């Protein structure tokens, strides 16, 4: 009977997807599911919801237990799912957005790159290293399935500083092609595609239907779109650099220096860029939570259909040795030769009882590798700052961030970092 530990189990909707999926897998139905969260109220709500699901879709076969002690939740785990958010919407996300705004730096999501992604990484890495210390003691053979952002930064920190077997998982790979074809009104069969790069900036390198290259048709239909829509940044990137990028337009608008420009304010409307999108989502989710909570915790008929989240399929493949392919975030052990070896890449991976086995991709087109490298440097410097506790590396990361460096002077960037460090207070460790 496998043991699945879910860290951040107060993320009730996401816990429903991943753990509900597990209950629908024959190989995982009898699992011991250990729930842990520092928010005891949200933890209790998730436990109630999952026990209802366990009864309705799984004949009560799983054992579901909430733990107040993290180490006990982790003890003897086979799989650890990480879905934490350190600092929450208030105070930390608000801080990540409002202080840069005082310097004239605007963001959309701020959870993966940019100044928001850097500081989210700095406050999350120490917590992840604490997890790793516990795992080394009580479940040294467990796989960590990390869903927490900033994905590349956290996966790199865990890979550099710990022996924990880690794979980073994101929704954008499996959603990329279906959403693109739907947006363009293309109905195709026998699809085959190849995606690789880095998290949130992986590239649709190939796409065929019945062996026929779809890129010419995709580019033709994309060029014919006239009305404003939600995917304008990605289509512009494809137009200029030749390939479609996996993650959404609101994300990629802040990963490059071309779109959110104080000098070109009309770009916001031209490319339909939703500034402050993540804080707006947080406010809406908090406002809607009471209704959603009741729907999840008070509905005795609650059910679930298996989602496309990778988590349960990875565990199932490891338990049964029936291979499954994912897009995973792993260290670049020569997988993409024209990206640095000491970075995390997002590539196809085979999963079986041996674990997660990354696949060799080969070199990316030169322009795509160059775009990835502008983000990789920020990942590496943020991790270096977290591991060495040297403030200079925070400055380096911010000064080399594509969007930040294109908008602000060096002095403003360093002063902004100092203000963010002070405002975060105890949410950050002390930096020298």
Q: Residues at the annotated binding site for Mn(2+)?
A: 170, 200
Distance CA 231, CA 248 (A): 7
> Which two tokens mark 30?
């009898």
With b meaning 16 or more CB within 10 Å and e meaning fewer, what string describes 169-207?
Answer: bbebbbebbeebbebbeeeeeeeebebbbbbbbbbbbeb
Radius of gyration of the chain (CA): 21
Whole-angstrom CA distances from 123 to 134, 146, 410 are 18, 16, 23
Distance of CA 256 to the CA centre of its chain: 18
Catalytic residue among 171, 229, 360, 403: 171
Q: Do the beta carbons of residue 244 and residue 179 sit within 8 Å?
A: no
Distance CA 77, CA 4 (A): 6
Which segments of 93-113 does DSSP mark as H helices, in order? 94-102
- 251 a catalytic residue: no
Distance CA 102, CA 73 (A): 42
Distance of CA 112 to the CA centre of its chain: 7
Annotated binding site: 149, 170, 200
Distance CA 119, CA 3 (A): 33
- For the beta carbon of residue 43, count every other beta carbon within 10 angstroms: 22
**Residues 6+ positions from 198 with CB-CB distance below 8 Å:** 152, 339, 343, 344, 345, 346, 372, 375, 376, 379
Distance CA 97, CA 93 (A): 6
**Residues 6+ positions from 230 with CB-CB distance below 8 Å:** 248, 249, 250, 272
Residue with tokens 């996300």: 93
Annotated binding site for substrate: 149
> Which residues form the catalytic set?
171
């Amino acid at each position: 009977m496998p043991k699945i530990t879910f860290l951040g189990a107060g993320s009730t909707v996401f816990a429903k997807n991943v753990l509900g999926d597990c209950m629908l897998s024959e190989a995982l139905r009898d699992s011991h599911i250990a729930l842990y969260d520092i928010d005891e109220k949200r933890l209790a709500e998730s436990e109630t919801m999952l026990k209802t699901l366990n009864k309705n879709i799984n004949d009560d076969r799983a054992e579901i237990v909430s733990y107040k002690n993290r180490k006990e939740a982790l003890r003897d785990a086979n799989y650890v799912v990480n879905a934490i958010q350190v600092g929450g919407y208030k105070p930390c996300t608000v801080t990540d957005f409002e202080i840069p705004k005082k310097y004239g730096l605007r963001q959309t999501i701020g959870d993966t790159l940019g100044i928001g992604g850097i500081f989210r990484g700095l406050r999350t890495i120490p917590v992840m290293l604490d997890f790793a210390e516990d795992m080394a003691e009580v479940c040294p053979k467990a796989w960590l399935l990390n869903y927490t952002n900033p994905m590349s930064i956290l996966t790199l920190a865990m890979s550099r500083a710990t022996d924990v077997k880690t794979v980073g998982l994101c929704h954008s790979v499996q959603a990329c092609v279906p959403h693109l074809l739907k947006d363009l009104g293309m109905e195709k069969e026998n699809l085959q595609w190849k995606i690789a790069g880095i998290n949130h900036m992986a590239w649709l390198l190939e796409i065929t239907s019945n062996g026929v290259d779809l890129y010419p048709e995709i580019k033709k239909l994309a060029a014919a779109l006239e009305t404003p829509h939600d995917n304008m940044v990605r289509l512009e990137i494809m137009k200029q650099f030749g390939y479609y990028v996996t993650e959404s337009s609101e994300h990629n608008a802040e990963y490059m220096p071309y779109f959110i420009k104080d000098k070109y304010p009309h770009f916001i409307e031209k490319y339909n860029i939703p500034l402050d999108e993540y804080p707006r989502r947080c406010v809406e989710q908090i406002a809607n939570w009471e209704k959603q909570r009741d729907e999840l915790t008070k509905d005795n008929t609650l059910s679930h259909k298996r989602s496309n989240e990778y988590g349960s399929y990875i565990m199932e493949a490891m338990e049964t040795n029936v291979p499954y392919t994912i897009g995973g975030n792993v260290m670049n052990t020569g997988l993409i030769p024209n990206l640095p070896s000491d970075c995390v890449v997002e590539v196809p991976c085979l999963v079986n009882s041996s674990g997660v086995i990354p696949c060799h991709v080969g070199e990316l087109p030169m322009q795509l590798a160059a775009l990835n490298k502008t983000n990789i440097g920020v990942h590496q410097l943020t991790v270096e700052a977290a591991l060495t506790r040297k403030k200079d590396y925070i400055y380096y990361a911010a000064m080399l961030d594509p969007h930040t460096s294109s908008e602000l002077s060096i002095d403003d960037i360093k002063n902004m970092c100092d203000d963010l460090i002070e405002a975060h207070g105890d949410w950050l460790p002390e930096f020298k």
